[in-house]
């Protein structure tokens, strides 16, 4: 049975992450928001902290994967492992700055992909590597099944051809997990993920984007032209199983969506904390012992936003707990991502409205800009709602579009 109280053993991790967020991230947050595309050199000291965020050691390089094993874990009782730890650490770090978290070495979303679908040998081989994840292409956004980048087997290598856009950490990471199709005629079942290391001939970083938010993080356009990747860098199995369909690579999202939800929760909490301070300084008291309709309008609105935050927070803990306990969590991961992504946008914008913090004198302005990407990447709000509907109604992607 799930217990949504934070485990006591996670206390040291949370405190460590909070201290890093408060003492390092917050002081340089505005600096790197203004200095877009400049690498935050202060982050180099956090390599050891990244290893601590994955304290169980299951997830490889900085992110725990949702790994399905054949063993029966149910007899061992509840398990609070790497997935929950990374989510709790991510919340604290993004309370400091989400763009800086995305810039931290060995904490890329590609690491979660490696942790989710790699073989044991691959987990060991790629341990310590900073991996970005490249899915989106110029021809599609949220429909991951529309991947047109190709991977053709040629001897001991796969030859990749295609272009990827909106790749977080695409310029700075050591490698990129690239989604490509082995055979377009076989549909989504033929889509596999490949680890492509920087410096591989045929792999080019075309440009980095100027963005609305998370400016401390680099977002790149990548091109692969006859890029030869060792066949052992294909994550998981090379077999095309049309019965299993898209499940193999999509398993990655079972892990990354709770992480993005955790990022949203961290930003939302930062906005709420700052707004509470500003309201109290203005003489507005938030009283939890009185009905909202008997309080100042600003206090009543704050209580509504805080309740929205709490629901997103609990959904995210549930999805991470399920992953740690080897329970299928696709529905819960999408619910957490949908709720947290929508909530952080509303909370951040409402906090700007309540406080009038529209200038760069307050980080609320920045958080309002940062919030929007958390509702978009790793599957937009609309895609998450569609996935939830399919799971609840028992419909396939072909039956419910």
Is residue 62 classed exposed, middle or buried when 0-12, 13-18 and 19+ CB atoms within 10 A define those classes? Answer: buried
CA 53, CA 60: separation in Å to the nearest integer? 11
Packing angle, helices 247-281 and 82-96, rounded to 10:
40
**Number of Cβ within a 10 Å radius of residue 51:** 14
Strand pairing report for 191-197 and 219-230: unpaired
Going by C-alpha positions, the residue among 310, 298, 305, 313 that lies closest to residue 271 is 305
Positive or negative torsion for Cα 292, 353, 101, 201: positive
CA 266, CA 213: separation in Å to the nearest integer? 15
Cβ–Cβ < 8 Å for 95, 266: yes
Tell me whether residue 92 is one of the annotated catalytic residues: no
**Number of Cβ within a 10 Å radius of residue 252:** 27
Cβ–Cβ < 8 Å for 176, 194: no
∠ CA 7-9-14, nearest 5°, is 85
Task: State which H helix or E strand residue 314 sits in.
Answer: helix 297-324
State both tokens at 45.
């000291």
One of 171, 274, 378, 399 is an active-site residue; which one? 378
CA 122, CA 107: separation in Å to the nearest integer? 17
Going by C-alpha positions, the residue among 386, 381, 361, 385 that lies closest to residue 371 is 381
CA 398 to chain centre: 27
Strand pairing report for 219-230 and 150-154: unpaired
Cβ–Cβ < 8 Å for 251, 117: yes
Max CA distance (Å), the chain:
73
CA 265, CA 251: separation in Å to the nearest integer? 22
DSSP 58: -
Q: Which residues are catalytic?
A: 378
């Amino acid at each position: 049975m799930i217990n949504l109280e934070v485990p006591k053993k996670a206390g040291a991790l949370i405190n460590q992450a909070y201290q890093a967020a408060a003492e390092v991230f917050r002081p340089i947050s505005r600096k790197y928001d203004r200095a877009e595309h400049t690498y935050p050199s202060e982050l180099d000291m956090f390599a050891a902290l990244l290893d601590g965020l994955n304290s169980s050691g299951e997830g490889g390089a900085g992110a725990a994967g949702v790994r399905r094993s054949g063993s029966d874990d149910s007899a061992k009782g509840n398990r609070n492992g790497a997935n929950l730890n990374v989510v709790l650490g991510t919340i604290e770090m993004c309370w400091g700055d989400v763009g800086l978290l995305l810039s931290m070495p060995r904490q890329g979303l590609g690491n979660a992909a490696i942790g989710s679908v790699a073989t044991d040998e691959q987990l060991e081989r790629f341990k310590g590597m900073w991996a970005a994840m490249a899915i989106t292409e110029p021809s599609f956004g949220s429909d991951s099944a529309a991947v047109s980048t190709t991977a053709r087997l040629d001897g001991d290598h796969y030859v990749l051809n295609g272009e990827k856009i909106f790749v977080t950490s695409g310029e700075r990471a050591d490698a990129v997990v690239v989604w490509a199709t082995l055979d377009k005629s076989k549909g989504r079942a033929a889509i596999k993920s490949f680890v492509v290391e920087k410096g591989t001939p045929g792999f080019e970083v075309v440009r980095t984007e100027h963005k609305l938010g998370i400016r401390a993080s680099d977002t790149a356009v990548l091109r692969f032209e006859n890029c030869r990747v060792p066949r052992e860098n294909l994550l998981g199995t090379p077999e095309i199983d049309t019965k299993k369909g898209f499940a193999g690579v999509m398993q990655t999202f079972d892990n990354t969506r709770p992480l993005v939800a955790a990022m949203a929760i961290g930003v939302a909490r930062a906005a709420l904390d700052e707004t509470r301070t500003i309201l109290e300084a203005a003489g507005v008291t938030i009283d939890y012992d009185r009905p909202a309709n008997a309080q100042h309008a600003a206090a009543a609105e704050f209580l509504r936003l805080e309740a929205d935050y709490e629901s997103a927070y609990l959904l995210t803990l549930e999805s991470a707990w399920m992953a740690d306990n080897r329970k299928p969590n696709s529905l819960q991961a999408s619910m957490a991502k949908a709720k947290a992504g929508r909530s952080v946008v509303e909370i951040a914008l409402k906090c700007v409205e309540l406080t009038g913090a529209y200038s760069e004198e307050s980080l609320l302005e920045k958080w309002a800009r940062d919030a929007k990407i958390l509702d978009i990447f790793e599957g937009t709000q609309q895609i998450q709602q569609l996935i939830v509907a399919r799971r609840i109604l028992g419909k396939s992607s072909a039956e419910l579009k």
